[in-house]
Amino acid sequence: MFYKVRNVIPLDNMLLKVEFENGIIKSYDVKKLKERFQIFKDLEIKALFELAKVDAGGYGIMWNKNIDLSCNEVWENGVIINE
């Protein structure tokens, strides 16, 4: 099952505020990914990080053609900030 993303807001300190189509809002810390995957280190550039947007269909978040994040990653590892 996919938990589709409706909206994403990049916040300070490499955090994302992600609203899902079911109304749940989660916070997701991208910093942990840069420790595991080299490509996410580019997101330390604030101007690039702030380009976060929902990809077509809501199946994830993307920054450019090389950097993206699946909706299920955010759903499974994000922290609920509303219910």
The domain segmentation of the chain, as residue ranges, is 5-80
Q: Summarize pLDDT for 10-22 with one digit per residue, the tens.
A: 999 999 999 999 9
- Residue 83 in this model has a pLDDT that exceeds 80: no
Query: CATH top-level class for 5-80?
Result: alpha beta
Determine phi and psi for 20, rounding to 5 degrees: -95, 160
What's this model's pTM, rounded to 2 decimal places?
Answer: 0.93
- What pLDDT score does 11 carry? 97
Query: 70 has which bridge partners?
Result: 60
Q: Summarize pLDDT for 22-75 with one digit per residue, the tens.
A: 999 999 999 999 989 999 999 999 999 999 999 999 999 999 999 999 999 999
- Calpha distance 32→5 (Å, rounded): 20
